[in-house]
């Protein structure tokens, strides 16, 4: 007779059940990881889209600021040009009184003559 102990009939199903539970748990974790990866991909795409939209808005703001700066630079230049040209000042109804200040010139009243 041999001294080997035969495994009991109930041990094999228990081991199989435990292995099945471990594989099910591992599969569930793998599926959960896959779902998280998909969600992360969607979030990355959304972030890239928002970043692109933000850059477009930033470019629009920059363009508007440049436009406003150009306009504000033109106005002083126009005024200086008018100050330099007495005919343009007269046409605009302005006169310089010699102290650097502009004075409105009263147009002659045609009915007073």
Domain boundaries, the chain: 17-94
Confidence of residue 2 (pLDDT cuts 50, 70, 90): very low
Q: Can you spell out the DSSP letters for 29-85?
A: HHHHHHHHHHHHHHHHHHHHHHHHHHHHHHHHHHHHHHHHHHHHHHHHHHHHHHHH-
Query: Is pTM, for the whole model, over 0.75?
Result: no
**Cβ atoms of 106 and 95 closer than 8 Å:** no
Percent of the chain whose predicted confidence (pLDDT) is above 70: 64
Work out the number of other CB atoms within 10 angstroms of the CB of residue 82: 16
Tell me the β-bridge partners of 57: none
Token reading at 10: 């109930």
Beta-strand pair 102-104/94-96:
antiparallel
Query: Coil, strand or helix: which one is 9?
Result: coil
Higher pLDDT, 93 or 32: 32
């Amino acid at each position: 007779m041999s001294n080997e102990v035969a495994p009991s009939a109930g041990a094999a199903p228990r081991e199989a059940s435990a292995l099945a539970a471990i594989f099910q748990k591992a599969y569930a974790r793998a599926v959960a990881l896959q779902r998280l990866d998909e969600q992360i991909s969607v979030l990355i795409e959304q972030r890239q889209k928002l970043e692109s939209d933000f850059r477009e808005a930033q470019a629009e703001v920059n363009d508007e600021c440049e436009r406003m700066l150009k306009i504000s630079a033109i106005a002083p230049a126009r005024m200086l040009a008018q100050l330099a040209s007495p005919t343009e000042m007269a046409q605009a109804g302005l006169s310089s009184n010699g102290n650097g200040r502009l004075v409105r010139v009263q147009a002659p009243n045609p009915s007073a003559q």
